[in-house]
Amino acid sequence: MLCKIIPNKCIACGLCQIKAPNIFDYHDNGIVLFAKTAEEAITIPDDVPEDILEAYKACPTRAIILEK
Interacting residue ranges for ligand SF4, rule: CB under 6 A: 10-16, 32, 58-61, 63-64
* Spatial separation of the C-alpha atoms in residues 16 and 29, rounded to whole Å: 15
Residue 8 or 43: the one with the smaller Cβ distance to ligand SF4 is: 8
Residue 1 or 27: the one with the smaller Cβ distance to ligand SF4 is: 27
* Spatial separation of the C-alpha atoms in residues 28 and 44, rounded to whole Å: 26
User: At its nearest, how many Å lie between ligand SF4 and the CB of residue 17?
Assistant: 7
H-helix or E-strand spanning residue 56: helix 50-58
Residue 1 or 57: the one with the smaller Cβ distance to ligand SF4 is: 57
Report the 10 Å Cβ neighbour count for 60. Answer: 10
